[in-house]
């Protein structure tokens, strides 16, 4: 089967040491899938990492120094290289240790967005690390940025997150899949670009859940699996009456989204992306699960499967 794995940026840790350790878990799950004979494409998140890169330049910048401020699309491209390197390294080492002869490659990927997307006026995508309320108030005052509370975990900066329309490097991605390689693409949702005479980077961070749904459609994936930090999608999340869901029909999912059952910028885009994939590919399967339970979830024994009505 052709499996598109979307890997959450929050599951990759907050610094290179933590990330290098955590990608080893991801690499094991991914190589297990490849060993079972599946073709695997990975789209990773970059929320914490792109924010970290942006802050590093902001903190180091000084009018007299040679350290420039770094535009968000460039920060996004750096996050693709940084996370792509760690994933490629860990997957490559895992393949080597199991004597499996499969290549792994990362593609710097640009994702086309609409310059008139309303999202440019309403930032919703959380990036960077989590802050206390006091730190958030201070940063809003100092930098004029927008910050919101993120699923009970603290406050984070939010930036514009337009919807993906197309993936510039899609043909190269398909070529690599045909060559049997494990492909890492559209990292962080892809570097957002708008089409004029050519493609031009724009200040935003695309939700990797929507880009991975788009890429899953473009490559005609059999399974679209979103791996994150929770085992299943829940209703009444974080409340005493919290309930895990093993299946979710398109209509149920849309109803729950309407009732704001899922965290904005966290679980809601995952459910919406899964719904969009199943709506456009009724024969495909969309699952939301934890990294540890990836293989079990594909076998139908874990996670939340989103089905047609
Ligand atoms: N209804 C819900 N069910 C399960 N998790 C939820 C729900 N609403 C919000 N969440 C939160 O969303 C998180 C996943 O989103 P996020 O951390 O942004 O994803 P990513 O793994 O892509 O970085 C979960 O770990 C959980 O804390
Ligand atoms: N770009 C993106 O969606 O990143 P996260 O998965 O880290 O939120």
Mean pLDDT, range 259-288, rounded to an integer: 94
Mean pLDDT, range 159-163, rounded to an integer: 96
Residue 63 confidence (pLDDT): 67
| Best of 155, 244, 248, 266 for a ligand 1 pocket test (most atoms within 8 Å of beta carbon) | 266
Residue 277 has pLDDT above 80, yes or no: yes
Q: What are the tens digits of pLDDT across the range 204-231?
A: 999 999 999 999 999 999 999 999 989 9
Rounded mean pLDDT of the chain? 94
Shortest-distance atom of ligand 2 to CA 269: 3
Q: What is the ipTM of this complex?
A: 0.97
Q: Is the pTM of this model over 0.90?
A: yes
The candidate with the shortest Cα–Cα distance to 284, out of 208, 219, 227, is 219
User: Of the residues 163, 214, 270, 285, which is catalytic?
Assistant: 270
Mean pLDDT, range 69-73, rounded to an integer: 94
Residue 61 confidence (pLDDT): 85
The three-class DSSP label of residue 125 is strand
Query: Does the Cβ of 288 fall within 6 Å of ligand 1?
Result: no
Q: What are the tens digits of pLDDT across the range 163-173?
A: 999 999 999 99
Mean pLDDT, range 274-284, rounded to an integer: 94
Q: What are the tens digits of pLDDT across the range 76-86?
A: 999 999 999 99
- The gap between the terminal CA atoms of the chain, to the nearest Å, is 23
CATH class of the region 2-307: alpha beta
Which of 59-73, 95-109, 248-262, 285-299 has the weakest average pLDDT?
A: 59-73
Shortest-distance atom of ligand 2 to CA 208: 3
The candidate with the shortest Cα–Cα distance to 288, out of 224, 215, 219, 243, is 224
Domain ranges, ordered by start, for the chain:
2-307
Residue 181 and residue 158: Cα distance in Å, rounded? 35
Mean pLDDT, range 107-113, rounded to an integer: 98
Residue 146 and residue 105: Cα distance in Å, rounded? 35
């Amino acid at each position: 089967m052709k499996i598109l794995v979307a890997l959450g940026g929050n599951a990759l840790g907050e610094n290179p040491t933590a990330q290098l350790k955590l990608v080893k878990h991801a690499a094991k799950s991914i190589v297990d899938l490849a060993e079972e004979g599946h073709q695997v494409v990975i789209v990773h998140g970059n929320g914490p990492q792109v924010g970290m890169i942006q802050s590093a330049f902001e903190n180091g910048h000084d009018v007299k120094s040679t350290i420039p401020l770094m535009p968000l699309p460039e920060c996004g491209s750096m996050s693709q290289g940084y996370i792509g390197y760690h994933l490629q390294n860990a997957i490559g080492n895992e393949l080597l240790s199991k004597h499996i002869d499969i290549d792994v490659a990362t593609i710097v990927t640009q994702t086309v967005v609409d310059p008139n997307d309303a999202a440019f006026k309403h930032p919703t995508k959380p990036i960077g690390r989590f802050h206390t309320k006091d730190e958030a108030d201070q940063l809003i005052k100092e930098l004029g940025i927008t910050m919101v509370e993120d699923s009970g975990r603290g406050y984070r900066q939010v930036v514009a997150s337009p919807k993906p329309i197309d993936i510039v490097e899609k043909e190269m991605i398909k070529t690599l899949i045909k060559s049997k390689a494990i492909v890492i693409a559209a990292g962080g949702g892809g570097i957002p670009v708008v089409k004029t005479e050519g493609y031009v980077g724009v200040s935003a961070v695309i939700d990797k859940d929507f880009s991975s749904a788009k890429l899953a459609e473009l490559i005609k994936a059999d399974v679209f699996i979103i791996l994150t930090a929770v085992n299943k999608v829940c209703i009444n999340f974080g409340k005493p009456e919290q309930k895990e869901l093993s299946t979710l029909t398109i209509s149920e999912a849309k109803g729950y989204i309407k009732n704001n059952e899922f965290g904005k910028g966290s679980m809601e885009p995952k459910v919406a992306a899964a719904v969009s994939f199943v709506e456009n590919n009724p024969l495909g399967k969309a699952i939301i699960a934890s990294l540890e339970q990836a293989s079990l979830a594909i076998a139908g024994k874990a996670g939340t499967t989103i089905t047609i009505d």
